[in-house]
Structure 1
């Protein structure tokens, strides 16, 4: 009853008091329903997978009754003819229905992949991927994967990055106790490398080799062999053990070397003795004037 009295008092203040109580009571129930039916605003329209709002509508937060928005295909999607569809804000605060009407675009068919094979996740459709593998004896030059992507300015799609190539290649040159002076991720025909040995090893064979059209190194890769010092040029000490691993031969070499030193010493002594003997003989033959002078009486 309290609510009804308030309505009656309000209508009296508006000059509606001349209406009978029963009429006023009926209006008390009808007017709230009329107010509720007044058109309201719409929130932003729903997001769709293949279509999107035109740019001028994307940042707007509210839309009034009967206001219209426009859609276009998202990047990577298209229709046979350029088409823009519209949605309207209804009095109920909802939007008239806009259906998905754009379809995925397709990248060009990749065709043959020479000297290798490729695998696709979803054919040539926008968003699909390809992975590439080369046949044995061939080297992949480029990216091993490619994706169907949008070209923004042209609103088309293409494979990116570009399809790689499988070319004849040579395996990385491996030389025990040595290595190439320059190292690359791949070697193709006419590439050359220079081999150097590690310290303590010497090169046997060609120092420079070339990758051939058959995928092999030509001439044949060299080898790096252990360097052994010549026993004839060794000084006494630990270095002689590097000359020959056979200890008996090392012992014999040491004895021979010791004897050669003793012989050399004897030769020097004999040479010195000869020089002293010659010097004494010459001194005996030269007359001494003071010694041979007669003594005066």
Structure 2
């Protein structure tokens, strides 16, 4: 050991070894926290400190759940090691929405798909963010539900009962008018 170190830290020199570099077991006798899936850890302890500090980070596409930094004090970790959970993007559902509206979800979050009035869920109504960062089962669709008795609409008054939006009624009447004109032209030839 250099003379300069012995003069700077005289009380800490024991048999020529600087004991400051080793934390006393009474203060810092923690086992190294576990390695976590989809993440990494690094020791961020201050030099010449009697505490051990470990910081965790997650890989891209994962979210840290728990404390990012944990400290060993009095032979115990301040909290358990965190976890890295998969992220799922908000699914786009045409003519519907989700029971919980967020930009991203974390496994194993579960949401319900709710369709707009006049539409019905085709597929599973309940979906879960999986460990792969995808929705399971597959994201359902909201499809227009044809009310009973509306499969073959022949008159305008019945058409008004089957369609809820005025613009849909107008478009359907135009198609109906066009179909009548085509039918009349076919009879003339």
* Alignment deviations for residues 193-241 of structure 1 (CA, whole Å, 9 cap, x no partner): 43212445432332233455544323310123467885833338x9543
Residues matched between the structures, number:
144
Q: 1:110 — aligned with what?
A: 33
TM-score by length of 1: 0.36
Tell me the equivalent position of 2:127: 209
Runs of 5+ consecutive residues of structure 2 not aligned to the other structure: 1-13, 15-22, 182-189
Question: Matches of 1:137 and 1:211 in 2, distance apart?
Answer: 13
Alpha-carbon separation, structure 2, partners of 1:198 and 1:126:
60
2:91 equivalent in structure 1: 174
Residue in structure 1 matched with residue 160 of structure 2 by the alignment = 235
Shift of 1:129: 3.7
**Whole-Å separation in 2 of the counterparts to 1:130 and 1:180:** 37
Higher relative contact order (CA 8 A, sep 6+): 2
1:123 positional shift = 5.7
Summarize the alignment of residues 93-242 of structure 1 with structure 2, pairs less than 5 Å apart: 105-106=27-28, 108=30, 109-110=32-33, 112-122=35-45, 125-127=49-51, 129-149=53-73, 156-167=74-85, 169=86, 171=88, 173-176=90-93, 177-180=96-99, 186-188=106-108, 192-199=110-117, 201-212=119-130, 214-225=132-143, 232=153, 233-235=158-160, 239-242=165-168
CA distance in 2, matches of 1:181, 1:218: 16
Structure 1 pair 206/171, CA: closer, same or farther in 2 (3 Å)?
same
TM-score, normalised with respect to structure 2? 0.51
Distance 1:132 1:110 in 2: 10
Structure 1 residues 159-192: Cα deviation after superposition (integer angstroms, max 9, x where no partner): 212211235x35155243310469896323xx65
CA contact (8 A) 2:44 2:54 kept: yes
CA distance in 1, matches of 2:138, 2:112: 12
